[in-house]
Structures are given as structure tokens and as C-alpha cells.
Amino acid sequence: MPQVSFEIVAECPHTRARTGLLHTPHGTIETPVFMPVGTQATVKGLTQRDLAEDLGVGILLANTYHLYLRPGHELIRQMGGLHKFMSWPNAILTDSGGFQVFSLSGLRQIDEAGVVFQSHLDGDRHVFTPESTVDVQLAYGSDILMVLDECPEYPVSHESARQSMQRTVRWAQRANRHFLGRMAESPTRHALFPIVQGSCFPDLRRECATALADLGADGYAIGGLSVGEPRPLSLQAVEATEDILPRGKPRYAMGVGMPVELPEYVARGVDMMDCVLPSRNARNGYLFTSGGRVIIKHAQYKDDERPLDPKCPCYTCRTYSRAYLRHLFQAGEILFSVLATRHNIQRYLDIMREIGDAIRSGSFPEYLRCARSAPQDAG
């Protein structure tokens, strides 16, 4: 029996978009889905009740690297796993920590065995291997685990990207063997997703996807996006692998994107996405609405009595004016981050629901055209 199963419910005949149901040990999630990022086992500014009950979030992402350093995977295991530790009732996906480790360019060394790195907190040395990152994520009790991959920066030469990609494949094979061995003796169910790499070279992306498809995993991720490359190249990286990755398995584009980009990835066969933008930008006063972006510090909102987004059902938009939100931001009040994050997450979730509705109704191409021509800034 697969650890995580996926069924396609509806497909768009004009694009590669589809809706589906992702079945996990902690609930079934409708796809396409956006996963809020809870780096430190919390989405900054929101409680778990806000997320699960008010916003209807069925799955969120937590960060293996940061939780490994603090409070530590063994403590989380002793506390009953990440779900119990953070009082989260729904599904959890954890990354492998690879992206964070490889961003520590001056503090890590890579070889075939894995990565030796120094903690950004205290300088202590640690080792991540394909096998150890599986064990760490199993200690968390994650529903979906990610393999350790090598995530090259952009730009990178074709040869360097090729070597990095081939190492990612070898690491994925090792991680998969170790994971299957652990699952043979595990009383709980989990899934491990390998990650397609290859920078912005379509031939390397296809080679990687072909090798990883042979693993027969329960789902596949597309990594190495949002590392400084132009947006069109990110979309091309996804396109290069769409016809190779198993159609009946969920596809996860890691670390994307802006609201206007979400339907673009779905149109290319992506089912799952995550990004820090809605929460990070919220704290910085950059708000996403159905009419475009609102930079709340701008003076035009000083006496604006309108809700942030009249079409938004969230508590923030039902209750407060743009003028009040601007006041909170200018005063540095914590409440601003709470209200703004709540709204931005709501907006991302609403976009995914709109996309799903459009696919099921047969109007997704029209939705995509409207998204591409939508104004950048709200009135």
C-alpha cells in the first residue's frame, strides 16, 4: 500500500493542469494546493487554530535544517513528533535541509558521503547524509519527507550542474533504499519524494527526472527554483520534466511563487507549491489582493476607509480598514503582522481554490488569460 496516494479528479484538456486528492495519514488534501511555510514549526504571526480551523490549511511545510539545530530532532521525537509538539492536526511536509545547507556557501563542504556544515547559530559542525536526513524527518513524524539534494546557485556551468545533478540522483537512490528499509519495520506511514535538479538546463532536468522516475516514489519534487534565475527559466525547468515524471503521482514545485505565477505552474502539471512570500511580504507591508498589490505604507492609504480587499472573506478584510492597517504598520505594532499574514495566506489559498474551480468547470484557460492580464497594483 502506498504511503501517500494520489488520485486525479479533473483535467484541463488544453493545458497540463489537473485537480486531485492527496491522501496522507493526517487527512486528504485537495490539489492544487499551496502549503504555508512554518520554518520553525510555526507560521510567523498565526496560531495553528488560525491555520487549520479559520483558513482551512490541510498541509504545511516545516524546515528540517532549522528544527535539527533547534530544538533538535531527538527532543521532537521524545515529545511525540512534530504534530504533537506543535499541536498541528493535519499533514506536514518537511524539506531535507539541503537548500538551507547549500546556501551556507562558506560554512559547508560537500562530498559523495554528504555535507559537513557549521551551524549558523553557534558554529558547531554537523553532518547531513542522504540516510541521516531521512532518519531526522522520521523522528519528526513527517507525512512527506524530502531527499537530500544538491541545490546549485544560479548561474552555474552546464558541467557543474551535471555533476551536481548526478550526485543528487545517487543521493536519492541511497535515501530511497534507506527509507524503504525503515518503512519495512515502521508502524506508521510516510512518503519520501525525490527532487529533480539540473539548474536551468532542460537536458539535465530530463536526465534527472528519468533516473528518479525509476525509483517508483509516491511523489516527485522539482527543486532548484527561486535561486536567482529569471522566472521564465523556472517555468521551463518545470516544463522539461512534465512528460517524464509519472502522471499519476503528485508533483511539487519547491519555493514558488508570486500570486500571478501560481496558475502558470499548475498549467504545467504542478500539484503542490510552497513559498515564504505571503508571510514574509505581509510582515514587510506588501499585501496581495484580488485587485493587485497594496504597499500599505504609501500615503494614499492614510485615510482610506475601504477594507484591504472587498472580495476577501478573511477576518482582516471583514473587520479593518486600510487606514487602520497602515497605522499599525507605521507604529510597528505586532497586530499588523498578525492581520497582514492572515490575509496574505488567505489570498494564496483562495487563488488555489479558484484554480481548482476553473479546472473542474472547464474554464481554466480563460482563468489563466485573465491572471496574465491582471493589474499589478490595486487602486
Residues known to be catalytic: 95, 274
- The number of C-alpha atoms within 13 Å of 149 and in the hemisphere containing its C-beta is 29
Per the DSSP assignment, residues forming a β-bridge with 221 are: 195, 252
Chain-centroid distance of CA 362 in Å reads 26
Whole-angstrom distance, CA of residue 129 vs CA of residue 120: 18
Whole-angstrom distance, CA of residue 165 vs CA of residue 195: 10
| Residue 194 contacts residue 186 (beta carbons within 8 Å) | no
Helical H runs in the chain? 48-49, 64-69, 73-78, 82-85, 98-102, 130-140, 158-183, 202-213, 231-239, 262-267, 277-283, 315-319, 322-331, 334-361, 364-373
| Residue 147 contacts residue 174 (beta carbons within 8 Å) | no
Specify the 3-state DSSP secondary structure of 70.
coil
Whole-angstrom distance, CA of residue 36 vs CA of residue 57: 8
| Residue 29 contacts residue 91 (beta carbons within 8 Å) | yes
Phi, psi of 145, deg, nearest 5 = -105, 155
